[in-house]
């Protein structure tokens, strides 16, 4: 009886619903643990990376291996000296050092490349897959030379019979002066690409030295270029001789005085045999040459360009004044890889590095950046053997001339004293002081 009634009641009662299971939350991805962690990791063992690393170390606020440098290179090169090599004034072997020999033993050196950045996790991944953690990251790997950006250029540079050369790499710079010496007649073209390059004055520095060589050997008469065995053209992707109006006006004056043809807004795009083709607006212009000095296009390395650290152009996006990243407050950048809108030179780094170092030290104490970079950079423009126009300027192309401030000496005029700075003093101070973090450019030595 009880069973039948219970069954009847159960059938009459509303059916209970099974509770809906609570969804299991998907765990957030956890970054693999870093194999090592450092207070500061510096990407790049070039001018910027070495200078900044050693400045930080010299503050006395870091113990052994607090700071790490990551760079795959075997050799470190004094690249501003390659113009001197191209002009027959230096040997390229004298301008390089084993990279490891320049790094203080208190710094950890990872002699490998970067695979990827993980700024959200304060990590980088090395090319071998190891993960390195950091409190602060300095990104200063420089620029990549894109030789293959000009069709036919790699083949022409590699061909010892082709009169095509470039001062922009260790492998090709030794070909430059012999091609200048061998030319006895014909058309010599010196190119400069549109876009960002290392030291925007270098493409014409080598031209002025070549012109002076041919003048001294009787093959070029600036007063009568039309009757000279050699004709000279400067083919630049830019609309003017130089980006700073004051110095551009002087260089344009020299160009006209010396009979150099100006091919402005001519961007070299291909080489075939003895013909060079340039993009000129919507047109293509082809010129026959007997000597061609080429400056390849340049740009950020892929591991920077394709990372969360890059701006739309592929450079590390930093504040123009503080050098701090615009999104990640513990990331910094100076030198050629940074977005700092100034000419990319070693001289610029001498002013950028102290600002960045000061601001990193403040950030480590929880303070806001205070030091500010004003865009200072410099280009010692060789205008002939024995004379240099020393261009110094800051943001906006405003001249900021050291010798004008000290001695009232207008640097618009090429001078012999500046030539010896370029040829003798700067290479000496670079390896004896700058890469050690003790040279501050116009501000002199750093304690």
Three-class DSSP category at 338: strand
Contact 188, 263 (CB under 8 A): no
Q: What is the pLDDT along the chain (447 residues), one digit of tens a residue?
A: 333 333 333 333 333 343 444 444 444 455 677 789 999 999 999 999 999 999 999 999 999 999 999 999 999 999 999 999 999 999 999 999 999 999 999 999 999 999 999 999 999 999 999 999 999 999 999 999 999 999 999 999 999 999 999 999 999 999 999 999 999 999 999 999 999 999 999 999 999 999 999 999 999 999 999 999 999 999 999 999 999 999 999 999 999 999 999 999 999 999 999 999 999 999 999 999 999 999 999 999 999 999 999 999 999 999 999 999 999 999 999 999 999 999 999 999 999 999 999 999 999 999 999 999 999 999 999 999 999 999 999 999 999 999 998 999 999 999 999 999 999 999 999 999 999 999 999 999 998
Cα(251)–Cα(211) distance, rounded to whole angstroms?
14
Contact 394, 376 (CB under 8 A): yes
Task: Record the pTM.
Answer: 0.92
28: left (phi over 0), alpha (psi -120 to 50) or beta: beta
Q: Residue with structure tokens 């500061």?
A: 40
- The radius of gyration computed from the CA coordinates of the chain, to the nearest angstrom, equals 28
| Tokens, residue 81 | 């000296």
Three-class DSSP category at 401: coil
Residues 81-125: tens digit of each pLDDT: 999 999 999 999 999 999 999 999 999 999 999 999 999 999 999
Give 58's contacts (C-beta < 8 A, 6+ positions apart): 437, 438, 446
Which residues are registered as beta bridge partners of 314? none
Three-class DSSP category at 228: coil
Count other Cβ atoms within 10 Å, centred on residue 177: 21
**CA 439 to chain centroid:** 19
What pLDDT is recorded for position 193? 98
Cα(15)–Cα(83) distance, rounded to whole angstroms?
90
Which residues are designated catalytic? 199, 379
Cα(202)–Cα(166) distance, rounded to whole angstroms?
11
Q: List the beta strands (DSSP E) in 204-312.
A: 230-236, 261-264, 267-272, 275-280, 283-288, 291-293, 297-300
- DSSP letter at 390 equals E
Cα(92)–Cα(83) distance, rounded to whole angstroms?
10
Backbone angles phi, psi at 310, to 5 degrees: -90, 150
Three-class DSSP category at 290: coil
Cα(417)–Cα(372) distance, rounded to whole angstroms?
31
Cα(98)–Cα(101) distance, rounded to whole angstroms?
5
Pairing of strands 267-272, 275-280: antiparallel
Give 279's contacts (C-beta < 8 A, 6+ positions apart): 237, 266, 267, 269
Cα(136)–Cα(297) distance, rounded to whole angstroms?
31
């Amino acid at each position: 009886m009880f069973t039948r009634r219970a069954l009847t009641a159960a059938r009459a009662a509303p059916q209970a619903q099974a509770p809906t299971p609570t969804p299991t939350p998907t765990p957030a991805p956890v970054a693999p643990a870093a194999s090592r962690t450092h207070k500061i990791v510096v990407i790049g063992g070039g001018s910027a990376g070495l200078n900044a690393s050693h400045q930080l170390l010299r503050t006395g606020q870091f113990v052994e291996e607090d700071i790490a440098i990551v760079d795959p290179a075997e050799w470190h090169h004094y690249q501003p000296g390659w113009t001197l090599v191209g002009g027959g004034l230096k040997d390229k072997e004298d301008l390089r050092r084993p990279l490891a020999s320049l790094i203080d033993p208190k710094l950890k050196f990872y002699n490998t490349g970067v695979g990827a950045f993980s700024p959200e996790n304060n990590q980088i991944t090395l090319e071998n897959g190891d993960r390195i953690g950091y409190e602060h990251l300095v990104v200063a790997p420089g620029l990549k030379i894109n030789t293959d950006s000009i069709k036919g250029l790699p083949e022409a540079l590699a061909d010892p019979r082709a009169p095509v050369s470039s001062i922009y790499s260790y492998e090709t710079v030794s070909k430059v002066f012999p091609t200048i010496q061998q030319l006895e007649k014909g058309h010599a073209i010196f190119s400069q690409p549109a876009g960002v390059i290392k030291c925007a004055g270098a493409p014409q520095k080598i031209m002025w030295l070549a012109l002076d060589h041919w003048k001294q050997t009787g093959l070029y008469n600036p007063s009568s270029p039309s009757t000279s065995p050699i004709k000279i053209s400067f083919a630049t992707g830019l609309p003017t001789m130089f980006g700073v109006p004051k110095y551009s006006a002087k260089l344009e004056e020299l160009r006209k005085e010396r009979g150099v043809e100006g091919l402005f807004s001519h961007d070299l795009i291909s080489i075939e045999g003895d013909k060079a083709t340039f993009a000129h607006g919507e047109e293509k212009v082809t010129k026959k040459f007997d000597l061609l000095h080429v400056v390849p296009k340049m740009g950020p390395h892929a591991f920077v360009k394709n990372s969360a650290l890059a701006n739309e152009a592929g450079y590390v996006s930093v504040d123009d004044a503080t050098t701090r990243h615009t999104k990640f407050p513990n990331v910094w950048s100076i030198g050629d890889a940074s977005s700092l809108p100034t000419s990319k030179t070693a001289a610029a780094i001498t002013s950028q590095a102290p600002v960045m170092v000061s601001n990193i030290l403040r950030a480590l104490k929880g303070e806001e950046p205070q030091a500010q970079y004003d865009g200072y950079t410099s280009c010692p423009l060789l205008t002939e053997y024995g004379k240099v126009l020393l261009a110094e300027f800051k943001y906006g192309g405003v001249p900021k001339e050291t010798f004008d401030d000290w001695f009232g000496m207008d640097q618009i005029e090429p001078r012999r004293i500046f030539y010896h700075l370029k040829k003798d003093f700067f290479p000496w101070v670079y390896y004896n002081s700058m890469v050690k973090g003790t040279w501050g450019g116009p501000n002199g030595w750093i304690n």
